[in-house]
C-alpha cells in the first residue's frame, strides 16, 4: 500500500487482463480523499464497481463502470455470482423432479419456470392435447397471479431505488395477498413445484374461488394507488422519462423482449402470437407504450396487472364450470404423484390413498414406487418451448435420449439476454440513472445465472 487509499498493484485484474496503473480502495478513509488523490494524478476516468453486494442491483450483480466524473463512459455486467448449476443438476433427476430445480431460477416468477419446462416435456411426450382443461385453466390462473406479483416487485423496488419508498411498501402489501393464495393451493409461497408434467399437483383448496374473489376485489381497489402516486408525478417522471432509452432496433439486436420491447410500441406478446395453455381463448389486450424508456416499461407493467385481472376473472368462471374434473392426464404411467390427495391437515397423502397403495394393492404400491423413484421415459428428441414471462420471452430447450432423465435442459432466461443491453442503456448517462436503467429491465439474478 502506498497510502491508505491506493494500491500499487491492480488486485482486481483477471489473469491475462491488462492491469490498471492505480487502484483506489475505499476502506480506511473518506471518498473525498480518494477523489482528491485521483484529481491530483489527472486520470481521465475512474473504474467503479457497483455490486456484487449492492442494494440496488436486483440480486448479486456486479456492474463494472468506467466513470468520467458523474458520466458513465462504459458499463460491463459481471455475472455468475449466483450460479447454482440448476441445468446440470436436472440431468441427474427424473423429468418430474426437474420441476423442483427450475422453479428456483427466477424466484420472483417461479410458476413461469415450471410452466415452460412442463410444456416442453409434454411436447416431447406428445401429450400436449391430452392435458385436462381444468389443469390448463389452473395453470393460466396461477401464472397470471404470479405475473401481477412479479410486476409489483418490479414497480415497488424500482420506485424504492429512486426514493419513492411508499411504492415498495404498498407493492409488497398486495404481493402478500397473492402469495397467501399460492400458498393455499401449493403449500408454498415461492418455489412451488406445483405445475407438473401432465397437469398440476392438486386442485384448488376448499373455498379457493371465494379466496380468489377477495384478492381480485382487493387488487381492483388498490391498483389505482400506483397510478395516483406515479403516473403524473413530476419528480417520478423526471427520474424515468428519457432515461434508459432502448429503441426497437436496439431491442432486436440485443434480444430484448417483454415490457421493454413493448415500450417501443411493438405489439409482441407470446400469449397472443404463439399461444399456449389455451391463451387464445381468453379476452385480453397486449399493452404497448411509445417512449423507448424506463417510464414506458413502468406504465406497461402497471397496465398489464389490469389485463391479468381480466384473465383471472375468466379463469374463475371456467373453474366454477369444471368443478370436479381431472387436473392430471389420465395416463397412470405419467401422472405423478399417483392419485395425490391431501390429508385433512393439508399435508401429505390422505389416509384413503395410503391405505389403498400400502394395504390393498401390491400392484399400486409397486407402480407408485417405480414412478416416483425411476420416473417415466420420454421419447428421443429435442424441443424448444417459449412462454411470455413477466420479464419477456422465457424459453426452454430440452433434449431426451429416451431415458427417464433429461439429456440436456437449457433455459433462455430473459434477464440474461437483457443484461447485455446495459451498456446501451447507461453509457453517456449519469451514474444516478444506472439503477433506473437496470430496474427497467427487471432482471432476477437467480434466472440470469442459473
Encode pLDDT of 114-133 as tens digits.
Answer: 999 999 999 998 888 888 88
Above pLDDT 90, what percent of the chain? 24
Give 384's strand partners.
397
Q: Is the pLDDT of residue 351 over 70?
A: no
Mean per-residue pLDDT of the chain: 84
Span of 107-116, 163-172, 380-389 with lowest mean pLDDT:
163-172
Which residues in 11-90 belong to E strands, given as ranges?
A: 23-24, 46-50, 62-68, 71-78
Per-residue pLDDT, averaged over 24-46, amounts to: 70
**Residue 312, pLDDT score:** 93
337 band by pLDDT with thresholds 50, 70 and 90: low
Residue given cell 442459473 in the structure block: 450
pLDDT above 70: percentage of residues in the chain: 90
For residue 356, give the 3-state DSSP assignment: helix
Where would I find the H helices in 9-85?
31-41
pLDDT over 90 (residue 236): no
Other Cβ atoms within 10 Å of 408 Cβ, number: 14
Residue 2 — very low, low, confident or very high, per pLDDT cuts 50/70/90?
very low
Q: What is the pLDDT of residues 238-248, one digit of tens each?
A: 888 888 888 89
418-429 b/e (C-beta count within 10 Å ≥ 16 → b): bbebbebbbeeb
Structural domains of the chain, with CATH: 6-78 (no CATH), 86-334+378-449 (1.10.645.10), 337-374 (no CATH)
Which of 184, 240, 246 is CA-nearest to residue 210?
A: 184
The 408-412 sheet, strands edge to edge = 381-388, 393-400, 408-412
Q: Which three cell numbers stand for residue 388?
A: 411470455
Residue 180 CB neighbours (<10 A): 13
Calpha distance 406→92 (Å, rounded): 8
Of 30, 20, 81, the residue nearest 3 (C-alpha): 30
Does residue 4 surpass a pLDDT of 60? no
Residue 394 has pLDDT above 80, yes or no: yes
pLDDT at 411 over 60: yes
Cis peptide upstream of residue 77 (ω within 30 degrees of 0): no
Amino acid at each position: 500500500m502506498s497510502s491508505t487509499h491506493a494500491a500499487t498493484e491492480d488486485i482486481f485484474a483477471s489473469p491475462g487482463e491488462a492491469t490498471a496503473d492505480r487502484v483506489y480502495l475505499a476502506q480506511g478513509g473518506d471518498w473525498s480523499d480518494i477523489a482528491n488523490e485521483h484529481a491530483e494524478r489527472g486520470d481521465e476516468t475512474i473504474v467503479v464497481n457497483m455490486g456484487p453486494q449492492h442494494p440496488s442491483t436486483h440480486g448479486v450483480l456486479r456492474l463494472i463502470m468506467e466513470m468520467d466524473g458523474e458520466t458513465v463512459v462504459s458499463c460491463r455486467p459481471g455475472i455468475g455470482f449466483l450460479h447454482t448449476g440448476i441445468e446440470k443438476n436436472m440431468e441427474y433427476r427424473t423429468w418430474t423432479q426437474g420441476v423442483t430445480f427450475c422453479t428456483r431460477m427466477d424466484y420472483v416468477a417461479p410458476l413461469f419456470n415450471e410452466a415452460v419446462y412442463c410444456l416442453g416435456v409434454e411436447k416431447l411426450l406428445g401429450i400436449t392435447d391430452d392435458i385436462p382443461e381444468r389443469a390448463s385453466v389452473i395453470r393460466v390462473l396461477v401464472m397470471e397471479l404470479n405475473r401481477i406479483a412479479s410486476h409489483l416487485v418490479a414497480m415497488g423496488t424500482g420506485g424504492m431505488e429512486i426514493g419513492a419508498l411508499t411504492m415498495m411498501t404498498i407493492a409488497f402489501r398486495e404481493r402478500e395477498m397473492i402469495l397467501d393464495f399460492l400458498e393455499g393451493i401449493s403449500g408454498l409461497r415461492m418455489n412451488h413445484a406445483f405445475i407438473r408434467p401432465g397437469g398440476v399437483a392438486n386442485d384448488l383448496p376448499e373455498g379457493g374461488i371465494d379466496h380468489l374473489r377477495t384478492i381480485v376485489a382487493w387488487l381492483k381497489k388498490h391498483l389505482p394507488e400506483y397510478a395516483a402516486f406515479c403516473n403524473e408525478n413530476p419528480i417520478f417522471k423526471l427520474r424515468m422519462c428519457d432515461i434508459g432509452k432502448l429503441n426497437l432496433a436496439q431491442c432486436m439486436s440485443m434480444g430484448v423482449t417483454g415490457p421493454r420491447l413493448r415500450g417501443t410500441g411493438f405489439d409482441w406478446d407470446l400469449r397472443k402470437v404463439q399461444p399456449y395453455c389455451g391463451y387464445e381463448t381468453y379476452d385480453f389486450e397486449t399493452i404497448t407504450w411509445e417512449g423507448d424508456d424506463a417510464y414506458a416499461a413502468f406504465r406497461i407493467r402497471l397496465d398489464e396487472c389490469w389485463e391479468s385481472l381480466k384473465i383471472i376473472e375468466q379463469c374463475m368462471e371456467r373453474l366454477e364450470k369444471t368443478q370436479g374434473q381431472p387436473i392430471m392426464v389420465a395416463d397412470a404411467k405419467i401422472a405423478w404423484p399417483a392419485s395425490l390427495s391431501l390429508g385433512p391437515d393439508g399435508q401429505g397423502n390422505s389416509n384413503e390413498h395410503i391405505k389403498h397403495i400400502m394395504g390393498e394393492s401390491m400392484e399400486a404400491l409397486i407402480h407408485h414406487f417405480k414412478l416416483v423413484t425411476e420416473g417415466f421415459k420420454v421419447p428421443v428428441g429435442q424441443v424448444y418451448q417459449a412462454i411470455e414471462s413477466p420479464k419477456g420471452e422465457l424459453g426452454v430447450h430440452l433434449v431426451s435420449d429416451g431415458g427417464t432423465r433429461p439429456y440436456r435442459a437449457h433455459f433462455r432466461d430473459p434477464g440474461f439476454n437483457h443484461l447485455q443491453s446495459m451498456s446501451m442503456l447507461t453509457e453517456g448517462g449519469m451514474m444516478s440513472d444506472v439503477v433506473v436503467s437496470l430496474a427497467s429491465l427487471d432482471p432476477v439474478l437467480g434466472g440470469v445465472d442459473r
